[in-house]
Amino acid sequence: MRISNRERIPMVLRALAAASIIAAASMVSSANASPPGNAAPAFAEVSTAGKQVSLADFKGKTIVLEWTNNGCPFVQKHYNSKNMQNTQAAAATDGVVWLSVISSKPGSQGHVSAEQADKLTADRGAKPTHVLLDPDGSMGRAYGARTTPHMYIITPDGKVAYNGAIDSIQSSKVDDIPKAKNFVAAALANLKTGKAPDPAATVPYGCDVKY
């Protein structure tokens, strides 16, 4: 007999080396955006009530996702002025589900326990349906959330309808709120009358999400 794998292996090695270059070259980082019209990425995160909350739970309802971080000055702008609470309350009146999402990693700004999150909600008079805790950032990355705040609206059939900023003036100043167009309120109003949000995609502004 003649087992020839000794001779063959260097050749195999060379083939492997060539293949490894190709494999390495094809490794490019992917980026998510969740543009309007796309199916909303599925998620299942634990709420501050300790319950698993998933996209499928709200089939048939309009959902607003709000990325938030209580230490971020841009979030404070919209909470101190009650702009966010008012938008939430108006949405709730129309039966819209409002999910506030915290994607700050442990130890970073905005990372809070369930109790702290509930206290923040109570203290600020906020009206989210649930506050979701996403400390590993999986939900944030799936949606491509960039800033706090970063807002999404999902239609009852599970499609992204709006993705972007809370309003039209990119600043950290409360004074700008009355002058700005509230994109989320406008999009919800459009959806209510069966029209598509306009604009459906804007550039969000704020602090970076603390992944």
Q: Are 166 and 183 in contact (CB under 8 A)?
A: yes
Instruction: Out of 86, 108, 168, 190, name the contact with another protein by CB under 8 A.
Output: 108
Scan residues 120-179 and list those touching another protein (CB under 8 A): 141, 146-147, 158, 163, 170-173
Dist CA 49 CA 133 (whole Å): 10
DSSP per position, 112-175? --HHHHHHHHHHHT---SEEEE-TT-HHHHHHT--EESEEEEE-TTSBEEEEE-SBS--SS-GG
Burial 82-91 (b: 16+ CB within 10 A, else e): bbbbebbebb
Asked if residue 51 binds another protein (CB under 8 A), the reply is no
Using CA atoms, how far apart are residues 200 and 153, in angstroms rounded to an integer? 9
- Binding flag, residue 11, another protein (CB under 8 A): no
Does residue 209 interact with another protein by CB under 8 A? yes
Give the shortest CB-93-to-another protein separation in angstroms.
Answer: 26
Amino acid at 120: L
Q: Which is nearer to another protein, 54 or 113 (CB)?
A: 54
> Within 10 A of 178 (CB to CB), how many other CB atoms are there?
9
Site string for another protein, 55-84 (x = CB under 8 A): -x--x-----------xxxx----------
The amino acid present at 113, given as its one-letter code, is S
Single residue of 24, 50, 95, 194 touching another protein by CB under 8 A: 24
CB of 102 to another protein, least distance (A): 15
Residue 74 CB-half CA count within 13 A: 21
What is the closest distance, in whole angstroms, from the C-beta atom of residue 202 to another protein in the complex? 9
Can you tell me which of 51, 116, 198, 203 binds another protein, judged by CB under 8 A? 203
Residue 182 has what DSSP assignment? Answer: B
Q: Which position among 7, 115, 193, 194 is part of the footprint of another protein (CB under 8 A)?
A: 7
Which residues contribute to the site for another protein (CB under 8 A)? 1-10, 12-14, 16-17, 20-21, 23-25, 27-29, 31, 33-36, 39, 41-42, 56, 59, 71-74, 108-109, 141, 146-147, 158, 163, 170-173, 201, 203-211
